[in-house]
Amino acid sequence: MILLIILAALFGLTFIVSASILPYTGLFFFISVRMLLASALLLGYRHWIGQKTPIKRADWPRFILLGVGLIFLPFAAECFALKYVPAAHVSLIWSLEPFATAFYSWLLFRQYLTRRQVIGWIIGFFGIISLLIQTHGNELALPQVWRFSLADLLLILCVVITAYAWINFKRLLQGYSSVHINGVIMLIGGCLSLGASMVFEAWAPVPIAPLSSWPSVLLAACALVVISNLAAYNLYGYLLKKHTATLLAFSCSVLIPLFTIFFEFVFLHQTIGWDFLARVAVVWVGLYLFYSHERPEVLTVNH
């Protein structure tokens, strides 16, 4: 149980680190630095231990799909959203991912939900929707569609894309190690982010303002690589050997937003209203009903 709590705390901390540093750097530039650093470490480790299995030509489209759908798009949407909405709000939206995965499992593999899961799906979905229609101060600067801000819509879209990408990730695990897959797709996502930064962000000489804050930007990128890319994901893999995927997925979906709220209060001095917490409780009820009858093979972890 202690390791489960540490895992959720690590993932929750990543939202806070990103939110605290993004005002000083371009989001695409920051993503590229983080992903290229992580890719260099993972692929360097793989080379150091002597694993040199090449990628088959037929598998490259799937690697590119993961680089776009699992790295570039979701991290860009997440960083964009963190500029306008609280980190707790962003982390909770990722709780939609298991529901999206269940939909794909039904659509692609005809894995049907039980009545209790359907009830949990409905409660959790509408609980999150009730959170999304709450408008935060900075969101007023964004376009609105049916009371949903652009940040919310982009995150929801990326949750749907990410859920499908995880299915392809699982298929690639049949021929490649997770270190190999992550190293390659982070390289692809990092290069795409760097290209986007050169097109959309001002380089004078780099997208950091003020320029004197570059040590903080680099430190934040390194911290996220260690906290998320190395520590959290490796700990998740270790815990999968000792606990069911159902327990891990449920723990992450419930505890990560809770830790994000706590860290947001401690480090960013942002308070959460009781109405927000009440809506979060509704989402957790839906998650509990959903996961209590969930099949381990349809679950994923949010990145």
CB 256 within 8 A of CB 90: no
pLDDT at 136: 62
Q: What is the pLDDT of residue 286?
A: 80
pLDDT per residue as tens digits for the range 201-251: 999 899 999 999 999 999 999 999 999 888 887 787 677 667 665 566 667
The fraction of the chain above a pLDDT of 90, given in percent, is 36
126 near 185, Cβ under 8 Å? no
CB atoms within 10 A of CB 74: 24
Name the residue with higher pLDDT: 254 or 202.
202
pLDDT tens-digit series, residues 141-155: 677 777 778 888 898
Give the pLDDT score at 237. Answer: 66
Which pTM was predicted?
Answer: 0.84
CB atoms within 10 A of CB 117: 20
| pLDDT score for 230 | 83
The arithmetic mean of pLDDT across residues 120-147, rounded, is 71
Query: Per mean pLDDT, which range of 10-14, 287-291, 293-297 is the poorest?
Result: 293-297
Tell which residue, 73, 169, 67, 127, has the closest CA to residue 253: 127
Q: In this predicted structure, what is the pLDDT of residue 302? A: 44
